[in-house]
Amino acid sequence: MKILVPVKRVVDYNVKVRVKADGSGVDIANVKMSMNPFDEIGVEEAVRLKEAGVATEVVAVSCGLAASQETLRAAMAMGADRGILVETDAELQPLAVAKLLKAVCDKEQPQLVICGKQAIDDDANQTGQMLAALAGWPQATFASKVSIADGKASVMREIDGGVETLSVTLPAVVTTDLRLNEPRYATLPNIMKAKKKPLETVKPADLGVDVAPRLATLKVSEPAQRKAGEMVADVAQLVDKLKNVAKVI
């Protein structure tokens, strides 16, 4: 069984991002970039399935700038067998990425695609779902446990009020939640070996995909500053303030 794992290069989760002065987006010049943490969980899950003998090959895919090659190398250092870079300078929105991944799936014919549930830069939480729809495959999102047997994936997902277990027929798309696993540290020798693993570069045009944005970003702004709290004398005053000043009850 072949597993495809899409990985996105995003601003590192430790970086405090700043909004550009003109409000056109977030300033990522000279900012540390890393693999999206949810995608890292996806890579880990795929590699574990391979180590358990369930999967035979793990292919990492990244769409974006040439620098995303480093993210693919990081995935290969963790244990992915090879990488595919869909290289473009264009702004990529979830639908475009889903179409690119669909085209890669047509070519690679994986039995399972493990996406991060969302990327920590735009928090869209759409790509996995869109890919499933485009491919006509079942989807199981926000997975906290995945097991594969008899051509089906059994996926546990945490929902309001408990845990739901889905059984989906392969090929399928699974998206990862935080609690699915704890990604390993790539060992330093494996990082060196990743350099020698195959990495293929294709362009969106090669895949016949139009990646033109469908959405326009009007403005990006900082969240409003939180105002200082106010001490109240007693419960009566609290209720009064909530009712008449904050107007929340």
Partner 1 sequence: MIRDQETLNILLDTISRFVRERLVPAENIVAETDRIPDDIVAEMKELGLFGLSIPEEHGGMGLTMEEEVLATFEIGHTSPCFRSLFATNNGIGGQGIVIDGTPEQKAHYLPKLVTGEYIGSFALTEPDSGSDAASLRTTAVRDGDFYVLNGTKRYITNAPEASIFTVMARTDPAQKGAGGISAFIVERGTPGLSLGNPDEKMGHKGSHTCDVIFENCRVPAANLIGGREGIGFKTAMKVLDKGRIAIAAISVGVAERMLEDALRYACERKQFGKPIAEFQLIQAMLADSKAELYAARCMVLDAARRRDQGLDVGTEASCAKMFASEMCGRVADRAVQIFGGAGYLSEYGIERFYRDVRLFRLFEGTTQIQQLVIARNMIRAHNG
Q: How many residues bind partner 1 (CB under 8 A)?
A: 15
Q: How far is the CB of 126 from partner 1 (least distance, A)?
A: 28
144-152, 157-165, 173-181, 186-194 -> range binding partner 1 (CB under 8 A): 186-194
104-112, 153-161, 181-189, 225-233 -> range binding partner 1 (CB under 8 A): 181-189
Answer whether 46's CB lies under 8 Å from 183's CB: no
Alpha carbon distance 191, 95 (integer Å)? 32
Which tokens in the block code for residue 161? 């009020």
73 to each of 14, 48, 129, 191, how far by Cα in Å?
21, 18, 26, 8
- The number of helices, as runs of H, and strands, as runs of E, in the chain is 6, 11
User: Hey, what amino acid is at 55?
Assistant: A
Closer Cβ to partner 1, 192 or 215, answer by number: 192
Site string for partner 1, 32-71 (x = CB under 8 A): --x----------------------------------xx-
Q: Choose, by CB under 8 A, the member of 49, 77, 146, 207 that binds partner 1.
A: 77
* Closest to 4 in 3D by CA, of 43, 37, 35: 43
Closer Cβ to partner 1, 139 or 181, answer by number: 181
Q: How many CA atoms lie within 13 A of 222 on its CB side?
A: 11
21-29, 148-156, 179-187, 233-241 -> range binding partner 1 (CB under 8 A): 179-187
Q: How far is the CB of 192 from partner 1 (least distance, A)?
A: 6
Which ranges constitute the DSSP H helices of the chain? 37-51, 68-78, 94-108, 127-135, 188-194, 235-244
20-56: b (≥16 Cβ within 10 Å) or e: eeeeeeeeeeeeebbbbbbbbbbbbbbbbbbeeebbe
Q: β-strand 199-202 against 139-149: which pairing, if any?
A: unpaired
Q: Is 186 one of the binding residues for partner 1 (CB under 8 A)?
A: yes
User: Hey, what amino acid is at 31?
Assistant: V
Q: Choose, by CB under 8 A, the member of 159, 188, 235, 245 that binds partner 1.
A: 188
- C-alpha of 30 from chain center: 22
Q: How far is the CB of 113 from partner 1 (least distance, A)?
A: 24
Q: Choose, by CB under 8 A, the member of 60, 74, 80, 114 that binds partner 1.
A: 74
Specify the residue for token string 């006509």: 136
Q: How far is the CB of 14 from partner 1 (least distance, A)?
A: 8
Q: Is 187 one of the binding residues for partner 1 (CB under 8 A)?
A: yes
Q: Is 217 one of the binding residues for partner 1 (CB under 8 A)?
A: no
Q: Is 29 one of the binding residues for partner 1 (CB under 8 A)?
A: no
* Interface residue list for partner 1 (CB under 8 A): 34, 69-70, 73-74, 77, 185-189, 191-192, 194-195
